């Protein structure tokens, strides 16, 4: 009989993520596909169909986390959870499907429908809990395309103050800044940026995103930016500079590329300071020793390595904690490119 596997799904508002593992927990493949769920459930159904075509023949169990219930396609989170659960049930009607309910554990679809508050946006607790069991003590940070989780892990447990998004925002354990989809105007909350020897106010328009900023600094990971640019244009340094210039009411040609790259560096620094301020607040609770590492996860982990140095803490990549199937590389695509293998695919569904 074919070897049994398990599949883990994360239904986000902007991306669909799938991880496939052997029955013993060794990872085989990780896939991420763009999924603008706010445009309709058909976007999710299409992404699920594309992802399931790559699944092994025999899947023993499917586990599901979600944050997609937040999108404005749904009138509230209860409705969102219900429709996402129904979509997965429809896609895998004859499968052992379990929905992650945070501290309630993995639930049957029926039980999940009765506990939408436990299911909604609980994926952070799954990854943080996994890390807590592996390391016991750490500052866990997951910097994704849209948000950042900042969580203290102590005694093998997640010591979060908040459970809901509202509680986590208040505690700064959830920070709404990401590596690609965050509008630049959000990063310029000080109302002005230094440019041309002056301090200039910026436009409150969706002209550019942080993907443009990190593309201009030269640090944007390959395939990280899976959604259309703010203007629907090209994803090149030149096009990113043009979009960033619009934030200042200028044209790209009004200054040299060095000037736009300098501005991008300033905005990237602001983002890092925002994360450091939130991390300092979480650390001020005094739960972690000075030796506890910062564990970085998510597509923006390159910034978290920088933050660990500022906090004077050792840095560990989340990928180091994951067991990989023997016939694959020693690490998933989260670690440096030289250690990747064809067995691992970080799949982009758009240019």
Model confidence over 254-299: pLDDT tens digits?
999 999 999 999 999 999 999 999 999 999 999 999 999 999 999 9
Task: Give the pLDDT band of residue 25 (cuts 50, 70, 90).
Answer: confident
pLDDT band at residue 65, thresholds of 50, 70 and 90?
very high
The answer, yes or no, to whether residue 337 has pLDDT greater than 90, is no
Separation CA 97–CA 7 (nearest Å): 10
Beta strands, E only, the chain: 5-11, 15-22, 27-34, 59-66, 97-100, 106-107, 138-143, 148-154, 157-158, 174-175, 192-195, 198-201, 294-297, 315-317
Least confident of 93-107, 160-174, 324-338: 324-338
Average pLDDT over residues 199-209: 93
What does the DSSP assignment read for 282-321?
Answer: HHTT--S-TTPPEEEESTTHHHHHHHHHHTT--EEEGGGG
Q: What is the mean pLDDT of residues 228-255?
A: 96
- Please tell me the predicted confidence (pLDDT) of residue 2: 57
Q: How many angstroms separate the CA atoms of 24 and 7, rounded?
A: 12
Most confident of 53-67, 193-207, 277-291: 277-291
Whole-number CA gyration radius for the chain: 20
195 pLDDT more than 80: yes
Q: Assign 229 to helix, strand or coil.
A: coil
pLDDT confidence tier of residue 339, bands split at 50, 70 and 90: very low
Q: Of 266, 262, 239, 260, whose CA–CA distance to 248 is shortest? A: 260
pLDDT at res. 57:
75
The whole-number pLDDT of residue 224 equals 87
Q: 99: helix, coil or strand?
A: strand
Tokens of 207: 């002209």
Q: Binning pLDDT at 50, 70 and 90, where does residue 187 land?
A: confident
Given a cut of 60, whether residue 315 has pLDDT beyond it is: yes
Q: pTM of this prediction? A: 0.87
What is the C-alpha separation between 192 and 202, in angstroms, rounded? Answer: 6
The CA-atom distances, in angstroms, between 8 and each of 171, 192, 207 are: 28, 43, 35
CB 108 within 8 A of CB 62: no
Q: How far apart are CA 179 and CA 214, in angstroms?
A: 8
Q: What's the mean pLDDT in 316-342?
A: 56
- pLDDT for 185 equals 79
Q: Is 231 exposed, middle or buried (0-12, 13-18, 19+ CB in 10 A)?
A: middle
CA distances from 290 to 135, 172, 201, 312 (A): 15, 20, 39, 8
Whether the CB-CB separation of 42 and 49 falls below 8 Å is answered with no
Residue 345 confidence (pLDDT): 34
Percentage of the chain lying above the pLDDT 70 cut: 91
List the one residue out of 323, 331, 340, 326 whose CA is nearest residue 27: 323
Q: Highest mean pLDDT range out of 25-29, 86-90, 204-208, 221-225?
A: 86-90
pLDDT at position 325: 63
As a whole-number percent, the residues of the chain with pLDDT over 90 amount to 77
- pLDDT tens digits for range 147-172: 999 999 999 999 999 999 999 999 99
Kindly indicate the confidence band of residue 344, based on its pLDDT and cuts at 50, 70 and 90. Answer: very low
Sketch out the chain's domains with CATH numbers: 5-121 (3.30.420.40), 135-317 (3.30.420.190)
């Amino acid at each position: 009989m074919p070897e049994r596997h398990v599949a883990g799904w994360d239904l986000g508002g902007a991306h669909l993520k799938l991880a496939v593992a052997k029955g013993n927990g060794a990872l085989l493949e990780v896939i991420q596909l763009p999924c603008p769920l706010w445009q309709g459930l058909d976007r999710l159904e299409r992404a699920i169909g594309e992802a399931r075509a790559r699944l092994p023949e025999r899947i023993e169990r499917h586990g599901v986390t979600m944050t997609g219930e937040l999108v404005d396609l749904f009138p509230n989170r209860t409705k969102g959870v219900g429709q996402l659960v129904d979509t997965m049930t429809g896609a895998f009607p004859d499968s052992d499907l379990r929905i992650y309910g945070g501290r309630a554990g993995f639930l049957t679809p029926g039980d999940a429908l009765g506990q939408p508050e436990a299911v909604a946006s609980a994926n952070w607790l799954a990854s943080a809990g996994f890390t807590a069991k592996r390391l016991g003590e750490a500052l866990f940070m997951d910097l994704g395309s849209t948000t950042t989780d900042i969580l203290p892990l102590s005694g093998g447990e997640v010591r979060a103050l908040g459970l809901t998004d509202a509680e986590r925002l208040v505690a700064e354990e959830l920070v709404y800044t990401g590596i690609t989809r965050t509008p630049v105007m959000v990063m310029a909350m000080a109302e002005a940026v230094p440019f041309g020897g002056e301090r200039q106010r910026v436009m409150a328009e969706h002209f550019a995103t942080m993907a443009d900023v990190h593309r201009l600094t030269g640090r944007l990971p390959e395939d990280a930016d899976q959604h259309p640019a703010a203007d629907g244009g090209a994803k090149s340094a030149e096009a990113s500079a043009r979009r960033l210039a619009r934030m200042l009411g200028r044209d790209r040609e009004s200054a040299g590329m060095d000037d736009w790259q300098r501005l991008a560096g300033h905005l990237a620094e602001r983002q890092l300071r925002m994360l450091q301020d939130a991390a300092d607040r979480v650390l001020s609770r005094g739960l972690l020793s000075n030796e506890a590492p910062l564990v970085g996860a998510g597509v923006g982990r390159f910034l978290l390595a920088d933050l660990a140095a500022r906090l004077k803490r050792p840095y560990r990549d989340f990928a180091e904690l994951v067991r990989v199937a023997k016939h694959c590389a020693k690490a998933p695509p989260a670690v440096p490119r030289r250690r990747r293998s064809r067995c691992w695919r970080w799949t982009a569904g758009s240019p």
